Amino acid sequence: MQNVFYKKDDQGYPELLRQTGKDAPKQIYCKFEMQKPEVGPSFAGPLLRCGQKNVRPLENGNEVRPQQRSDLCGMQESVDKSIFNNCLSVIGSRRLTSYGKQALEQLVSQIAASGITIVSGFMYGGDAIAHRSALQVGGRTIAVMPCGIDLIHPQDQEELYHDILKNNGLVISEYEGDMQPTLWTYPRRNRIVAGLSKALLIVEAGEKSGCLITANYAKKFKRKIFVVPGPITSSVSKGSNLLIKEGAEMVTEAGDVLEFFRSLPGFEVGPSFAGPLLRCGQKNVRPLENGNEVRPQQRSDLCGMQKAQGGRGQHSGYPMAKCNRPSDSRMPPDEESFETQVLEMLKREPLGVDELSRQLEMSSSELGVKLSMMEMQGLIEIRGSKYASK
C-alpha cells in the first residue's frame, strides 16, 4: 500500500472537490495499492520493497510527492485519476432494515457494474454495504475516512478496508497519520463524500440521520440527489421521504441513476464495463451468444444497449445500459402474479409475515421487501402485526 497527498492546487486533486470552494479540504491523503511491474527474479528482491507497507520512496533524503517522480522503481506512484471521473456517493442508515439492505445491494451492484465509482464513508450499515456491493461486481469504490489516513476505523472492518485497496479502490482522508476520529470529523467527512461525486444516492435516513448533513452539502454543491422511498411507518425512512417531498428524485431502479450519468456530456463507461461486467449487475452472469462469451463489439444491443451515434452527452463507445428497465410502466409478469396472489390471500383474512412466508414459500427478507413496496403503492396496509388488503 502507498500513501500520497495532494494539495488543493495540485494536478491530482479531484476537480469536483476543488470546485466546492471554501468547503474543499486544503489537502487530501490517498492510500492505494501500488501496481508492481512484471520483473524477473533477479530484480524482484530488495528494490521491490519500496512498494511494501511503511516503506516510503526517498529522493535526496526527502519524501517524494507523486507529481515529482512517477516512475520510481517502475511502479505507479500516483492515483489513477480516472477513478474520480464518474462517482456516485451512496449513504444509508447504520441500522438498515431488510428492505433497505436489499434495495441498496440491488441498486449499487447494477450501478457499479456499469462503471460508476461508488463513494461512501466506510461506517457500519449502509456505507459498508455500499462498498461491498461494488466490490462484489468488480467495481471500484472510494472510502472517505473520518480519521487519519493510516487508521482503520471501524477496526472490525479491516477485511473490507484491504479488499477496497486490492480491487483498485481508494481510501482517502483530509487527515494524516493515525489521528483518531472525533465528533466533529464525522460531519466534516460528509462534505467530502458529497463533493467527490456528481450525484448522491440515499437509502433510508431517519429524521436526525447524519445522511441529511451529507444531503445538505450535496444541495449546496448543486449535486443531483436520488432517494429510495421507504414505508411511511418506518422511522429510518422519515428523513428520506422528506427529501423526496423537498424535491429529491425518487429512485425505484438502477436505471433512474444510470440515465442521469448517461446524459452527462463526455460520459464514458469505465474499464470494468467493457468486459465481464456486461452482465447488467447480475452476479456471476455473463452474456452468451451461441455458447460463447459476447464481446461488446460483437453485439451492440446486449442488455438493451444501442451504439451511440454522437451528439450531446454521447461518446464513441457504448452508452450506459438500462438495467432491467421495463419498456412500459407495467410490472413484470412474475411481480403481477405475486401481487395478485398476496391480495387474494389477504382478502380472505389478515396474515403475518411468517404465515405469508410459509404459504408463498419465500424467505422473510425477500417477502418483506415486496410487501413494503405493495404498502407504498397503497395495495395493502398493516393492522397490528399483520398485513391486510385495503
- pLDDT for 366 equals 76
Lookup: cell for 128:
459498508
| Residue of higher predicted confidence among 129 and 316 | 129
- pLDDT for 334 equals 58
Lookup: cell for 25:
479540504
163-167: long-range pairs with CB below 8 Å, 24+: 163/132, 163/135, 164/131, 164/135, 165/1, 165/31, 165/32, 165/33, 166/33, 167/135, 167/138, 167/140, 167/141
Q: DSSP for 266-319, please give it.
A: T----GGGGTGGGGTT-TT---EETTEEPPTTT-TTGGG------STT--SS-P
Tens digit of pLDDT for each residue in 308-355? 333 333 332 323 333 333 333 334 445 668 888 899 889 888 888 888
Tens digit of pLDDT for each residue in 280-318? 333 333 333 333 333 333 333 333 333 333 333 333 232
The domain made up of 336-389 has a fold known as Arc Repressor Mutant, subunit A (1.10.10)
Mean per-residue pLDDT, 61-77: 44
Mean per-residue pLDDT, 122-142: 96
- pLDDT for 282 equals 39
Asked whether residue 182 carries a pLDDT value surpassing 60, the answer given is: yes
> Is pTM beyond 0.75 here?
no
Rounded Cα distance between 257 and 249, Å, is 9
Q: Where are the beta strands (DSSP E) in 149-285?
A: 170-173, 199-203, 224-228, 249-250
- pLDDT for 382 equals 83
The domain made up of 83-259 has a fold known as Rossmann fold (3.40.50)
Rounded Cα distance between 267 and 320, Å, is 9
**311: Cβ contacts below 8 Å, ≥ 6 apart:** none
- pLDDT for 268 equals 64
Tens digit of pLDDT for each residue in 186-199? 999 999 999 999 99
How do the domains of the chain map onto residue ranges? 2-80, 83-259, 336-389
Rounded Cα distance between 158 and 305, Å, is 38
Helix then strand count (H, E) for the chain reads 11, 15
Confidence of residue 183 (pLDDT cuts 50, 70, 90): confident
